[in-house]
Amino acid sequence: MRFDGLTAVVTGIGACLPEQALSNDDIISAGALQTDDEWIRTRTGIVDRRRARAGTSTGDLAVAAGREALRSAAALPPPSGAQLPPDLLILATSTPDHPCPATAPHIAQRLGLGTIPAFDLSAVCSGFLYALITAAALVRGGTCSAPLVIAADTYSTILDPHDRETAPIFGDGAAAVLLRPGPPDSPGAVLAADFGSDGGGHHLIAIPGGGSRHPRHLPQPGPRSDYFGMRGREVYAHAVRRMTQSARSALQQTGWAADGVEAFIGHQANQRILDSVAERLGIPPPRVISNIRHLGNTAAASIPLAMAEAAAAGAVSPGARTLLTAFGGGLTWASITLNWPAAAPLTRPVPPDPSPVPAPDAPAPAPAPDRTRNHSWTPSSSTS
């Protein structure tokens, strides 16, 4: 999928991280894990990760990240800066606040965005790129003009603390980008995308119980089937192969050689996976952006968190050739090429917004303002 002509441009970026940082030793002690700090470091590259405190939800992190993305966009001068309020919100997550309803509409309400369309997208660790591809296509088709894409996960709520294969790997966090229409030579312009899935591997990364296949009120398929599970060795091989193939496809569509990529961000699953994919693609190590050492695997949020961190540090020049690639449960994978955005977070990642818990006798909130904009489903002539 190549976005010729008018495309989506990243015009704002923000991030949120829980304040609680846990070391490898903290995780080992909490779960009585039969491992040590050196084993975790050498096999994953992870030293620390952030964890949300009890009572903090995915939505709380997402609201804070979304607000920071809007502030970031407002700080850019026109035409790069935000000129329209968001007219769509997509939340990429596999740890929603509730099984039903979707978390995105409540996030939109908490951000004061009124009655805009809002929905959750679940592609596990590929979720941010799936959401970005979806939003870019909707911008190009004229369906929306300012989508807010948020990726947020709190895997601490679904992990078995006694599982050595998963407990040390994951951290919690959120990040968001605001998009607008713009030409493909703009900083932040989304240029090309590749994505796919293979349901034959659905069991490799999964929470087996609790869904309609195994409802909670019926016997479960295993003693700890309500926790997240992953078959690490098999996932490793799939992740390296799929991300490499997908990234090559996106590069080919864009007309870029791998050695011309100036910034490469892969899903922060495992440092050895990142290094292997970069090596296979022929991308030099100095151009590989990684934050897994101090944040762990933050699932759908990992790529935009790495983007936010690099943008805040000024580590990449606006307009630089950038390649993003991810792999997640499903199995799913995706890659995107874009020009590095001019936008950057205004602050370091903020802590999550506190959850609004109204009193039992609190009056009903005022109706949300109707900010729906009517968009034609037929692409305008400017997008052809």
Give me the active site residues, please.
125, 267, 297
Backbone region of residue 300 per phi and psi (left: phi > 0; alpha: psi in -120 to 50; beta: other values): alpha
Q: Are 72 and 345 in contact (CB under 8 A)?
A: yes
- Determine the Cα–Cα distance for residues 43 and 46; give it in Å rounded to an integer: 8
Q: What's 10's DSSP letter?
A: E
Alpha helices, H only, 34-150: 37-44, 58-75, 104-110, 127-140
- Determine the Cα–Cα distance for residues 126 and 17; give it in Å rounded to an integer: 19
- Determine the Cα–Cα distance for residues 29 and 33; give it in Å rounded to an integer: 7
Q: Could you write out the DSSP letters of every residue in 136-184? A: HHHHHTTS-SSEEEEEEE-GGGT--TT-TTTTTTB--EEEEEEEEEE-T
Q: In what order do the strands lie in the sheet with 7-16?
A: 7-16, 173-182, 147-153, 88-92, 118-121
Residue 327 sits at φ, ψ, to 5 deg, of -145, 140
Backbone region of residue 65 per phi and psi (left: phi > 0; alpha: psi in -120 to 50; beta: other values): alpha
Q: Are 62 and 174 in contact (CB under 8 A)?
A: yes
Backbone region of residue 57 per phi and psi (left: phi > 0; alpha: psi in -120 to 50; beta: other values): beta
Q: What's 304's DSSP letter?
A: H
